[in-house]
């Protein structure tokens, strides 16, 4: 079956500044150069090191609410995206009642499930350690509807296309946004069956060959039924996985989260999506035009990225086993450049640090004392080196 939909590459809200601001700016520089501009232009934003606060998250009336705070950076900077630590984050209703979030680390602030008054409007208030205050507009709570289904098909090129379907016959909203978390099982390049006890090889007690990886989505997926006669979204494509992708080599899971949003929130996400889908032209809307509903109260001229929403959240998880997928000869993995070598047992006493020598199997195999072992490095024989964990997630089936 050939899928007729195509998702353009996008990024998450808190990655947006790094991904689009300077790319769009680079487009202008290239265009200017084509008209004969000789003098190199260094944009003021890069010189001054502007760092824009990005706010990502919602008030969830059904469970844990999460707000993540990050900062923009130059695209040339290869370090991790800076996070905003030590901030005081709270929700406030339009009567002044406040709910304080707890800092969890890595720029994440959470609030356990609360009995929110659904008739009130709410805003998020942020006070940074630099004594700056940010606040969103007050927003209503949007009642969400359950996800009807999360489904998938094998495409004509043996990839996997994932869809979501929903409906809202009560017409609480005609605007939707989806996010998702991906989890998958994967293998290291080699199975290290032996470990060191001092300088003596012994059977390994902990299996380092199989791990589990979890990753939040980085896509903007939105939908609207305003042009339809019924408030139904059927098989909206949300994720596509190539046939050689390691995620579907063994077993894959996706948790889809659905949010009902206001028209203002939808328009924000749509504009953000348009700004990140291409470098654009001189006539396209540019990132500088992007405005959410969050402002810096202490400096109204300071830009802020993000749109705060409140409402119920719907979730649905599915698993996709490789047993139901076409077999491919090779998968693209984090261990593609790995290699193994041979270690003679007689050479072990004279070797230095053995911490990065991961023993695989005895050579030759069979009865008798091994005279050598095959070995590799932690980067190739410890699946945790690719960022995963040995223990399966609590939800794993």
> In the predicted model, what is the mean pLDDT of residues 33-50?
42
Could you read off the pLDDT of 141-186 as tens digits, one per residue? 998 899 999 999 999 999 999 999 999 999 989 999 999 999 999 9
| Rounded CA separation 165/146 (Å) | 10
Residue 190 has pLDDT above 80, yes or no: yes
Q: The tokens of 260 are what?
A: 């009902």
50 pLDDT band, cuts 50/70/90, is low
* Residue 385 pLDDT: 97
28 pLDDT band, cuts 50/70/90, is very low
The pTM assigned to this predicted structure is 0.80
Could you read off the pLDDT of 284-301 as tens digits, one per residue? 455 546 779 999 998 998
More confident residue, 111 or 12: 111
Could you read off the pLDDT of 196-250 as tens digits, one per residue? 999 999 999 999 999 999 998 878 899 999 999 999 999 999 999 999 999 999 9
Share of the chain above pLDDT 90, in %: 72
Residue 392 has pLDDT above 60, yes or no: yes
Mean pLDDT over each residue of the chain, to the nearest integer: 85
Residue 280 has pLDDT above 80, yes or no: no
74 pLDDT band, cuts 50/70/90, is low
* Residue 291 pLDDT: 78
349 pLDDT band, cuts 50/70/90, is very high
Residue 3 has pLDDT above 90, yes or no: no
Strands 88-93 and 121-127: antiparallel
């Amino acid at each position: 079956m050939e899928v007729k939909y195509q998702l353009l590459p996008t990024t998450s809200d808190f990655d947006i500044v790094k991904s689009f601001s300077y790319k769009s700016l680079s487009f202008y520089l290239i265009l200017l150069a084509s008209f004969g501009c000789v003098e190199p232009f260094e944009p003021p934003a890069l010189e001054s090191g502007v760092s824009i606060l990005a706010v990502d998250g919602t008030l969830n009336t059904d469970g844990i609410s999460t707000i993540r705070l990050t900062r923009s950076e130059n695209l040339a900077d290869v370090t991790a995206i800076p996070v905003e630590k030590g901030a005081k984050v709270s929700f406030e209703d339009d009567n002044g009642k406040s709910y304080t979030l707890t800092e969890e680390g890595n720029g994440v602030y959470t609030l356990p499930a609360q009995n929110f008054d659904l008739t009130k409007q709410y805003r998020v208030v942020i006070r940074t350690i630099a004594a700056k205050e940010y606040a969103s507009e007050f927003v209503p709570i949007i009642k969400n509807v359950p996800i009807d289904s999360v489904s998938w098909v094998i495409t004509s090129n043996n990839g996997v296309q994932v869809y979501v379907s929903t409906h809202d016959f009560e017409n609480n909203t005609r605007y939707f946004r989806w996010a998702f978390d991906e989890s998958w099982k994967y293998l290291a390049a080699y199975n290290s069956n032996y470990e060191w006890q001092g300088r003596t090889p012994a059977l390994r007690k902990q299996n380092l060959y199989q791990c589990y990886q979890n990753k939040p989505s980085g896509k903007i997926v939105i939908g609207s039924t305003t042009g339809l006669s019924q408030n139904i979204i059927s098989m909206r494509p949300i994720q596509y996985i190539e046939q050689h992708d390691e995620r579907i080599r063994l077993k894959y899971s996706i948790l889809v989260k659905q949010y009902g949003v206001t028209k203002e929130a939808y328009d924000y996400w749509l504009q953000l999506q348009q700004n990140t889908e291409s470098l654009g032209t001189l006539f396209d809307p540019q990132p500088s035009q992007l405005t959410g509903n969050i402002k810096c109260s202490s400096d109204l001229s300071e830009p802020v990225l993000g749109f705060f929403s409140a409402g119920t959240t719907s979730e649905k998880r599915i698993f996709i086993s490789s047993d139901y997928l076409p077999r491919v000869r090779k998968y693209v993995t984090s261990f593609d450049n790995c290699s193994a070598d041979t270690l003679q047992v007689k050479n072990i006493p004279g070797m230095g640090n053995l911490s990065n020598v991961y023993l695989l199997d005895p050579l030759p195999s069979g009865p008798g004392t091994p005279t050598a072992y095959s070995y590799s490095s932690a980067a190739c024989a410890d699946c945790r080196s690719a960022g995963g964990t040995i223990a399966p997630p609590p939800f794993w089936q």
